[in-house]
């Protein structure tokens, strides 16, 4: 399957369990890989026939801007649900990082892989 990806998308959101994390938005970084059939776009050379990563990035930014979660897992789950609802993605891998939270580490985060739920 073909892939469309976004790496290092920097967003700001209210995220965290501890009191000191709840006062201002923190930087989170998104790495996203989405399975999508690119064969039609390759033939037509039209953005209408592909997965527009600009629109995906914009939507993720809007989600982060409006969000107020304690856990990265909850934010990621919300992002994944929206991506499956609004874009024709069949499968995705979402890495969500908080690079500024642990002074002794370069980065911390989660990686979630999901397939589009089968409609019953």
Residues in the chain: 120
* 55, 98, 103, 119: the active-site residue: 98
Lateral strand order in the sheet of 91-97? 68-69, 3-15, 26-35, 91-97, 109-115
CA nearest neighbour of 110 among 92, 94, 87: 94
Q: How far apart are CA 98 and CA 35, in angstroms?
A: 25
- Helical segments of 1-120, H only: 39-44, 53-66, 72-86
Whether 98 is a known active-site residue: answer yes
Q: Are the beta carbons of 27 and 64 closer than 8 angstroms?
A: no
Residues annotated as catalytic (active site), given as ranges:
98
């Amino acid at each position: 399957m073909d892939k469309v990806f976004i790496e290092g998308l920097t967003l700001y959101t209210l995220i965290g369990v501890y009191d000191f994390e709840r006062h201002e938005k923190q930087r989170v970084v998104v790495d996203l890989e989405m399975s999508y059939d690119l064969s039609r776009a390759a033939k037509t050379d039209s953005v209408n026939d592909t997965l527009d990563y600009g629109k995906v990035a914009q939507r993720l930014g809007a989600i982060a801007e409006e969000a107020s979660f304690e856990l990265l897992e909850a934010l990621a789950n919300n992002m994944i649900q929206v991506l499956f609802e609004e874009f024709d993605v069949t499968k995705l891998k979402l890495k969500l990082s908080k690079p500024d939270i642990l002074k002794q580490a370069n980065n911390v985060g989660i990686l979630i892989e999901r397939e589009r739920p089968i409609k019953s």
